[in-house]
């Protein structure tokens, strides 16, 4: 928990866990960290992200410099897709998170990482949450998907299948790739906001890259502390939205009986393979080290 942010520490969160951004209270140094991260990501991404990501940055004027002021960002986002960004002090409980999404509110952390955590941090900060997640919320189909995910999350909680649904979020919203006519591109926020994983996810020979399949994804575990060993690629946001429109009730029934989890690295006979990975990175011990420059 980012206890070193005094603007968070002085506030009592509302019942829905939101706090005020108090944008004027960000220091020059904090804006400077944002600008450094921003310039670095634009440079390292160099066309590696989906066009919708760049469209979102431009439409929301996220390229104007400094940590975005929600008072300026939200009217633009609302006009485009009816979404708004709200600030939270730290990760919020699952039901609270889903309820925000179901109501087209994206909860973002207020604090920004320190200079000692430029490449890797465990808890999402304002850079990951706004630079990573918000551009695609300006894209109507993806915006609808995120709302549907929130509604589905509340339902998964009742079915005790949160683990399965969380994998869907992980392999799409956070670490999703898209196979486009110009090659494999990134749309996942966890990749787009990471200097080292933006290159690894699309260019490294190590990970498997498979075509997205809903049930497959909901049965595949993931790693939270290192690069992914498998990425799933969609061909369009419509494909993702359509695949998740079905009633998950019968899937949840099946899953609660069938506890089988696919090993992360296995390729199944039913998989459509884009890249068969060498797994060299993971087999050499992983932990991001060899990729730090
Ligand atoms: N269709 C899902 C259900 O019936 C809801 C959902 C939509 C979940 C989109 C995730 C993403 O529960
Ligand atoms: Fe995230």
The full set of domain ranges for the chain reads 6-283
What atom of ligand 1 comes closest to residue 245's alpha carbon?
Answer: 1
Summarize the confidence of residues 198-216 as an average pLDDT: 96
Q: Which CATH superfamily is domain 6-283 in?
A: Aromatic amino acid hydroxylase (1.10.800.10)
Percent share of the chain, pLDDT over 70 = 97
Q: What is the pLDDT of residues 107-125, one digit of tens each?
A: 999 999 999 988 878 789 9
Question: For position 279, what pLDDT does the model report?
Answer: 93
Residue 241 C-beta-side C-alpha neighbours within 13 Å: 13
Residue 293 — pLDDT band, cuts 50, 70, 90?
very low
Question: pTM of the predicted model, to two decimals?
Answer: 0.94
Least confident residue range of 29-38, 39-48, 83-92, 155-164: 155-164
Q: What is the pLDDT of residues 138-192, one digit of tens each?
A: 999 999 999 999 999 999 999 889 999 999 999 999 999 999 999 999 999 999 9
Question: For position 194, what pLDDT does the model report?
Answer: 94
Classify residue 160 as exposed, middle or buried by CB count within 10 Å of its CB (0-12, 13-18, 19+).
Answer: exposed
Ramachandran category for residue 188: left, alpha or beta (phi over 0 → left; psi -120 to 50 → alpha): beta
Given a contact cutoff of 8 angstroms between Cβ atoms, the answer to whether 193 and 132 are in contact is yes
Measured from the Cβ of residue 252, the count of other Cβ atoms closer than 10 Å reads 18
Q: Name the token pair of 235.
A: 């061909």
- The closest alpha carbon to 271, from 210, 207, 205, belongs to 210
C-alpha 88, offset from chain centre: 16
Residue 254 — pLDDT band, cuts 50, 70, 90?
confident
**Is residue 159 lining ligand 1, measured as CB closer than 6 Å?**
no
- The closest alpha carbon to 15, from 91, 88, 69, 121, belongs to 88
Question: For position 292, what pLDDT does the model report?
Answer: 45
112 CA to centre of ligand 2 in angstroms: 14
Cα 84 from Cα 107, distance rounded (Å): 9
Q: For 101-105, which contacts have Cβ atoms below 8 Å and span 24 or more sequence positions?
A: 101/146, 101/147, 101/149, 101/150, 101/151, 101/153, 102/147, 102/150, 102/151, 102/153, 102/154, 103/147, 103/150, 104/143, 104/146, 104/147
Contacts of 285 (CB under 8 A, 6+ apart): none
Q: List the residue whose alpha carbon is closest to atom 10 of ligand 1.
A: 149
Q: What is the pLDDT of residues 63-97, one digit of tens each?
A: 878 999 999 999 999 999 999 999 999 899 999 99
Percent share of the chain, pLDDT over 90 = 83
Q: Give the number of whichever ligand sits closest to the CA of residue 251.
A: 1
22: pLDDT strictly greater than 70? yes
Q: Choose which residue among 151, 171, 217 to substitute to test ligand 1 binding: the one with the highest number of ligand atoms within 8 A of its C-beta.
A: 151
Question: For position 261, what pLDDT does the model report?
Answer: 84
Q: φ and ψ at 211, to 5 degrees?
A: -70, 140
Residue 285 — pLDDT band, cuts 50, 70, 90?
confident
């Amino acid at each position: 928990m980012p206890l070193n942010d005094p603007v968070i520490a002085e506030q009592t969160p509302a019942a829905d866990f939101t706090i005020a951004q108090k944008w004027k209270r960000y220091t020059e140094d904090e804006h400077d960290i944002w600008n450094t991260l921003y310039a670095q990501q634009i440079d390292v991404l160099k066309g590696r992200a989906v066009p919708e990501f760049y469209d979102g940055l431009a439409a929301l004027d996220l390229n104007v410099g400094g940590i975005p002021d929600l008072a300026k960002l939200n009217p633009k986002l609302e006009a485009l897709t009816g979404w708004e960004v709200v600030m939270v002090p730290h990760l919020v409980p699952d039901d609270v998170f889903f309820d925000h999404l179901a109501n087209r509110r994206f909860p973002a952390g207020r604090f920004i990482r320190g200079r000692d955590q430029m490449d890797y941090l465990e808890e999402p900060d304002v850079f990951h949450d706004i630079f990573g997640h918000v551009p695609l919320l300006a894209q109507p189909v993806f915006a609808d998907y995120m709302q549907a995910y929130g509604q589905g999350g509340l339902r998964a909680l009742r079915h005790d299948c949160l683990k399965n649904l969380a994998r869907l979020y992980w392999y799409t919203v956070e670490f999703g790739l898209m196979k486009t006519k110009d090659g494999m591109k990134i749309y996942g926020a966890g990749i787009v906001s990471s200097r080292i994983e933006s290159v690894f996810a699309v260019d490294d020979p190590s990970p498997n890259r498979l075509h997205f399949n809903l049930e497959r994804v909901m049965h595949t575990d993931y790693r939270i502390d290192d690069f992914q060993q498998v990425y799933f690629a969609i061909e369009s946001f419509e494909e993702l939205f359509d695949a998740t429109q079905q009633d998950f009730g019968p899937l949840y029934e099946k899953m609660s009986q069938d506890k089988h989890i696919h090993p992360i690295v296995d390729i199944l006979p039913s998989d459509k393979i884009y890249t068969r990975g060498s797994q060299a990175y993971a087999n050499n011990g992983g932990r991001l080290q060899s990729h730090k420059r």
